[in-house]
């Protein structure tokens, strides 16, 4: 009896007229009866049939089999009726409104019960993922998958078969038209699967995450191109297709990028063969133009000290500046000096001139600030012995000084720098496809193939990548060892950094225009993809500017450049963004943290857009510019010249945000979701632009020789005969930081200028170097500065510090783990800090202008 009363009360609350029909109960959970026709006034004959209504809404005909009902929840009919999407969107809005109204009723607990299984499933997935991560099961599964699938993938033709089947299945999923509910379920299932896969190590979970990400992107791209391109005016069409072109560019780069880095080779060093007298001879080229001798000196000394037979190693200082100081230095330390009468073709011409004057079997090339380790040649030359077709081997470019992003934003050694992704992952992926790029430094090239292609390429300003492309067209192989065997100086200022990237972008566009990798003979499909993606990457300028300004069309002028319901757009774009971030965090997180690519591209977009466009029109435009190294930033300042484009974009986005706020409250209150979506987009752009403004606020950099943080054993020899054990905490070519190990209650007081000797080691050899105390902070923290060191002492210092084989092995141990939400939070904080710096700089400039304003003369009446 009590159950019947409860059901009667529940039927009255839900206004269910036919309590024996389960469909009536389900329908009334979401749909409230019309107030114009109260249920009390409707006879059973007049009452609507919920099943018939649901059938019409879902497109299920009368008498259809039972399985068509759940199918139509996810998949639309093959030939949808006109305006069906509009009807479904209206229905969705009504259901959401009814859901909100129901949540305020006592029956709101019904929704809690409905959603409880989903919440429980999420918690279970998190616990499963955490267990896999901590128990080692994930590592075991990943290794088992690698062992099981690696032999299968190695079968000839199997890669093509797997790729074809995967593409066919992905295409079917991408093009199947889900309704809003099906798309929501797709989002949730993809997300839940990714939450588990991201905890599994190994390559196959990475490939699975990439596949899910590409599928989500494909669904969005298909829906975007087939459902959102209805425009009412030529201006809408122009802006709408412009945004679509920018999005299509990102889709293409993402697809090519996943292929490029799908299987990092992780090539180890190859052991050298034969006796030392049979090893190849090596010419070491160190080109220089306008750099100071203090920058070049360590590189030359380290090159001289490389572990290689003395009779097979020749070091050449290539001075395009034709400076007598450099000639004297070369004679002093005993290296060859080469200068030429002109600077034709810049660095490429300098190297080609030296090639004509030397005879070594191999050529090792180092930028004048890249200091090689002793083990560089022993690490790299073995592959030339193993593979007679190997024409070039590249190692990473490692920097021991912060670039402008790292210094001005305070992320040095916490967040991977701009080049970490290329040298940490992309080049390893290129190596798998035999498409390793020559990067201009820290590389070894076999002389015979290099001369066969005419030496270093001179047709473009990125002579390095173009040279590698020519070698690959001739059928030669290349190699990459992902082990830092040299380290150099990053660019000191934002303007220098931007100038360097402009040269790279212009050069890649020149190659794409004059020697397109997708055309011509000699390259495999995979090599074409690797080269093509590297070149297309530098065309990000215009698409990034489109993304930074696209919401303004609606917020300023009420122009709809995407014709779709805002909620439906979110249901399609959210899986794309979410899955891309999850996949990138898993695959690239060690080398580039989530959302940081947008910061780098925002800073550079304006400056690379025009050079790449002009290079496509006329490849001969532009010239080689030398990247300044070893300079100083003597005082903190705001780089208004470089940041002017960002400042304009900031003002435009702030204006658009203010206009959107007005639209939300008054002008377009009838479409709040659309206004809110554009406001969220604008807010994200403002955060990225704020981070760009933070990069433009230059911090001081007053050291001519950067100190490198380290933990090296050392000994401090005092003038009174005491010998103290210590740890070298940082080093440079001019001095050291020491932490002396003191016993309890023991003290140490050293006067500035006091002469000492510092003992350092390389292998089992101790080097005692003369120095003087410049700083004593107490508690054993001491700073010393070297005096005038002899040639041998300078070489010993380099051997004990920069040229140690393990100098850069643990460099990234202090790096933060990539957590996408935490990364977005940090970028938001950096953006707000950037705006504070911009405001302070504006205030400073205003005060300076006021002080410079002349005082008007007054005359007596």
d(CA 417, CA 401): 11
Average pLDDT over residues 544-548: 95
pLDDT interval class at 625 (50, 70, 90): low
d(CA 158, CA 385): 31
d(CA 532, CA 520): 13
- Please say if the pLDDT value at position 819 is more than 90: no
Q: In this structure, what DSSP letter does residue 564 have?
A: S
| Environment class of 500 (CB within 10 Å of its CB; exposed 0-12, middle 13-18, buried 19+) | middle
- Bigger pLDDT: 46 or 456? 456
Task: Report angle CA 198, 199, 205 to the nearest 5 degrees.
Answer: 55
Task: Report angle CA 848, 850, 854 to the nearest 5 degrees.
Answer: 115
Q: How do 398-399 and 282-288 pair as beta strands? A: unpaired
Residue 720 confidence (pLDDT) = 86
Residue 446 confidence (pLDDT) = 97
Kindly list the catalytic residues: 320, 464
Q: In this structure, what DSSP letter does residue 732 have?
A: -
pLDDT interval class at 858 (50, 70, 90): very low
H-only helix segments in 484-560: 494-514, 525-537, 541-549, 551-557
Which of 223-236 are b and which e, b meaning 16 or more Cβ less than 10 Å from the residue's Cβ?
A: bbeebbbebeeeeb
Q: How far is CA 466 from CA 238, 435, 517, in A?
A: 36, 12, 10
Q: Is the dihedral of CA 230, 232, 237, 243 positive or negative?
A: negative
Q: How far is CA 527 from CA 391, 463, 619, 672, 807, in A?
A: 16, 18, 23, 48, 33
Q: Is the Cβ–Cβ distance between 720 and 518 less than 8 Å? A: no
- List the beta bridge partners of residue 478: 392
Residue 451 DSSP SS3: helix
Q: Residue 588: count other Cβ atoms within 10 Å of its Cβ.
A: 22
Q: In this structure, what DSSP letter does residue 786 have?
A: E
- For the chain, percent of residues with pLDDT exceeding 90: 43
Residue showing tokens 């992902």? 482
Q: Is the Cβ–Cβ distance between 374 and 463 less than 8 Å? A: no
**Rg of the chain taking only CA atoms, in angstroms:** 33
Closest CA to 80 of 97, 56, 64, 62: 56
The answer, as to whether pTM is greater than 0.85, is no
Residue 46 confidence (pLDDT) = 47
d(CA 143, CA 53): 53
Q: In this structure, what DSSP letter does residue 701 have?
A: B
- pLDDT tens readout for residues 86-122: 455 555 555 555 555 544 444 445 545 555 565 566 5
Average pLDDT over residues 789-806: 90
Residue showing tokens 């292998």? 763
Most distant pair of Cα atoms in the chain: their distance: 113
Residue spans of beta strands (DSSP E) within 265-322: 282-288, 313-319
- pLDDT tens readout for residues 306-324: 999 999 999 999 999 999 9
Q: Is the Cβ–Cβ distance between 560 and 675 less than 8 Å? A: no
């Amino acid at each position: 009896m009590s159950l019947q009363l409860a059901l009667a009360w529940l039927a009255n609350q839900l206004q269910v007229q036919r309590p024996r029909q389960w469909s009536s109960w389900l329908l009334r959970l979401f749909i409230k009866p019309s107030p114009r026709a109260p249920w009390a006034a409707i006879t059973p004959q007049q009452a609507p049939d919920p099943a018939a209504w649901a059938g019409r809404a879902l497109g299920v005909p009368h008498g259809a089999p039972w399985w068509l009902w759940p199918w139509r929840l996810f998949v639309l009919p093959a030939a949808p009726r006109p305006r069906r999407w509009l009807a479904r969107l209206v229905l969705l809005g009504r259901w959401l409104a009814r859901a909100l109204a129901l949540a305020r009723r006592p029956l709101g607990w019904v929704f809690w019960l409905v959603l409880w299984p989903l919440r429980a499933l999420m918690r279970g997935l998190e616990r499963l993922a955490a267990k896999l991560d901590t128990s080692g099961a994930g590592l075991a599964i990943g290794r088992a998958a690698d062992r099981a699938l690696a032999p299968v993938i190695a079968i000839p033709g199997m890669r093509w078969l797997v790729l074809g089947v995967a593409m066919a299945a992905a295409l079917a999923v991408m093009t199947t038209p889900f309704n809003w509910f099906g798309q929501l379920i797709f989002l949730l299932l993809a997300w839940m699967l990714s939450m588990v896969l991201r905890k599994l190590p190994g390559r196959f979970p990475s490939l699975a995450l990439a596949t899910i990400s590409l599928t989500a992107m494909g669904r969005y791209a298909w829906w975007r191109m087939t459902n959102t391109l209805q425009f009412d005016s030529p201006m809408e069409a122009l802006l709408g297709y412009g945004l679509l072109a920018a999005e299509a560019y990102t889709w293409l780069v993402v697809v090519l990028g996943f292929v490029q880095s799908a299987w990092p080779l992780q090539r180890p060093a190859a052991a050298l063969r034969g006796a030392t007298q049979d090893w190849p001879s090596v010419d070491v080229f160190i080109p220089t133009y306008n750099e100071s001798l203090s920058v070049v000196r360590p590189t030359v000394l380290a090159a001289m000290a490389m572990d290689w037979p003395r009779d097979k190693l020749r070091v050449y200082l290539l001075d395009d500046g034709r400076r007598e100081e450099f000639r004297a230095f070369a004679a002093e330390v005993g290296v060859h000096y080469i200068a030429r009468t002109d600077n034709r073709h810049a660095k490429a011409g300098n190297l080609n001139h030296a090639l004509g004057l030397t005879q070594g079997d191999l050529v090792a090339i180092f930028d004048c600030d890249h200091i090689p380790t002793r083990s560089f040649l022993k690490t790299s030359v073995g592959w030339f012995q193993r593979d007679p077709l190997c024409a070039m081997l590249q190692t990473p470019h490692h920097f021991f000084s912060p670039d402008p992003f790292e210094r001005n934003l305070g992320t040095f050694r916490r967040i991977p720098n701009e080049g970490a992704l290329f040298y940490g992952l992309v080049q390893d992926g290129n190596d798998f496809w035999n498409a390793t790029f020559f990067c201009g430094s820290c590389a070894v090239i076999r002389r015979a193939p290099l001369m066969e292609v005419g030496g270093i390429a001179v047709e473009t300003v990125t002579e390095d990548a173009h040279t590698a492309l020519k070698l690959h067209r001739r059928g030669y192989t290349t190699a990459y060892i992902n082990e830092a065997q040299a380290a150099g100086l990053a660019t000191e200022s934002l303007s220098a950094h931007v100038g360097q990237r402009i040269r790279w972008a212009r050069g890649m566009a020149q190659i794409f225009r004059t020697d397109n990798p997708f055309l011509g003979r000699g390259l495999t499909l995979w090599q074409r993809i690797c080269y093509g993606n590297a070149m297309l990457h530098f065309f990000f300028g215009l698409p990034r500017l489109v993304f930074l300004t696209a919401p303004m069309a609606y917020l300023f002028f009420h122009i709809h450049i995407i014709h779709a319901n805002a909620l439906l757009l979110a249901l399609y774009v959210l899986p794309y963004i979410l899955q891309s971030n999850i996949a990138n965090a898993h695959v690239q997180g060690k080398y580039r943290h989530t959302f940081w690519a947008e910061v780098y591209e925002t800073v550079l977009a304006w400056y690379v857009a025009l050079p790449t466009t002009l290079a496509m029109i006329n490849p001969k435009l532009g010239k080689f510019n030398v990247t300044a190294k070893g300079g100083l930033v003597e005082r903190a300042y705001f780089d208004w010249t470089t940041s002017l484009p960002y400042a304009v974009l900031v003002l435009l986005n702030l204006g658009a945000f203010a206009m959107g706020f007005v639209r939300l409250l008054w002008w377009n209150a009838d479409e709040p979701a659309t206004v809110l979506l554009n406001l969220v987009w604008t807010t994200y752009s403002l955060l990225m632009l704020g981070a760009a403004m933070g990069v433009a606020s230059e911090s001081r950099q007053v050291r001519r020789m950067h100190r490198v943080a380290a933990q090296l054993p050392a000994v401090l020899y005092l003038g009174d005969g005491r010998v103290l054990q210590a740890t070298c905490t940082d080093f440079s070519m001019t001095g050291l930081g020491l932490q002396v190990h003191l016993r309890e209650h023991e003290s140490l007081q050293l006067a500035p200028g006091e002469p000492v000797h510092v003992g350092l080691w390389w292998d089992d050899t101790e080097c005692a170097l003369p120095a003087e105390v410049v700083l004593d902070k107490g508690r054993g923290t001491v700073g010393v500065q070297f005096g005038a060191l002899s040639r041998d002492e300078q070489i010993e210092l380099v051997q004990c510090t920069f040229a140690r084989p393990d100098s850069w092995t643990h460099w990234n141990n202090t790096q933060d783990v990539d957590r996408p939400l935490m990364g977005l939070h940090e970028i938001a904080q950096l953006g707000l800090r950037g705006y504070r710096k911009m405001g302070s700089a504006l205030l400073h400039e205003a005060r300076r202008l006021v002080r410079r304003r002349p005082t008007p003369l007054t005359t007596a009446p």
